[in-house]
Structure 1
Amino acid sequence: MTTWITVCDTCKREDWSAETHARTHGEDLAELVERVAEGRDVKTRRVSCLMGCTHGCNVAIQASGKLAYTLGRFEPGEEAAQAIVDYAEMHAQSDTGRVPFREWPQGVKGHFVTRHPPLPDAEG
């Protein structure tokens, strides 16, 4: 099962303004995550708005049949991008999507916003 990193490309952190930024923080983070993920065991995609505006920059880590996570409050930088991709690869290697806390990259600790159980396989 493929683990996807979904990056909100419309996220703007509190310091964003049109006068000081040519593009959104989300676009910056998406570009960095895409670069780090290239050739790795995860896929990336961009979406416009994950509705976590107070937690920007936001990403979702998802795979069919596994726990899904929303992470936020990232500054768009190389360290954040590396930690996000490293965590997503651990998610990909897990049968359930659960990664033990002791294995989390330091750069994702404190950034988890939500966890979602996998959807049921059959209609109920």
Structure 2
Amino acid sequence: MTTWITICDTCKRDGWDLTGAAQTDGEALAALIEDAARDVPDVRTRRVACLMGCKAGCNVAVQAHGKLSYTIGNFEPMAEAAAGIVTYAALHAGSKNGQVPYRDWPQAIKGHFVTRHPPLPVAASDSDAA
């Protein structure tokens, strides 16, 4: 099953405005992730304008239908971070429910998890809501 890496390309880390950079930190990280994921089976990428996690930028979401989803953030736009994100997404894609054992996490993503979301119900009758 395909796992998507959704990348916030508008993220700007503290001090970005002082760097004179032509692109946002999110755009730089997105390019690195896209390059790292190019030939990885079952992993796809997409960019979005904002994931609303500005205090923890740079942010990405790791998602797949019927699986746990995660927001991970506070990354610097570096190749090591991108490689760790893509490696984690590949492990997510290969898992049954989206849960990847901690021992298998790449070092580059440890300490970067912001949120975990349960999968959406398949049908309205699967919901506990009244």
Common fold: TM-score over 0.5:
yes
Partner of 1:70: 71
Counterpart of 2:5 in 1: which secondary structure? strand
Pick the structure with greater CA Rg: 2
Q: Could you tell me the TM-score, scaled by structure 1's length?
A: 0.97
Structure 1 runs (4+) deviating above 2 angstroms are: none
Map of 1:1-124 to 2, 5 A cutoff? 1-17=1-17, 20-41=20-41, 42-124=43-125
Gaps of 5+ in 1: none
Alpha-carbon RMSD across the aligned residues, in angstroms, is 0.9
Equivalences, count: 124
Residue 88 of structure 2 aligns to a residue whose secondary structure is: helix
SS in 2 for 1:20: coil
Pairwise CA distance, 1:123: 1.2
Structure 2: gaps (5+ residues): 126-130
State the distance in 2 between where 1:44 and 1:33 align.
8
Shift of 1:19: 5.7
Whole-angstrom distance in 2 between the partners of 1:86 and 1:20 = 31
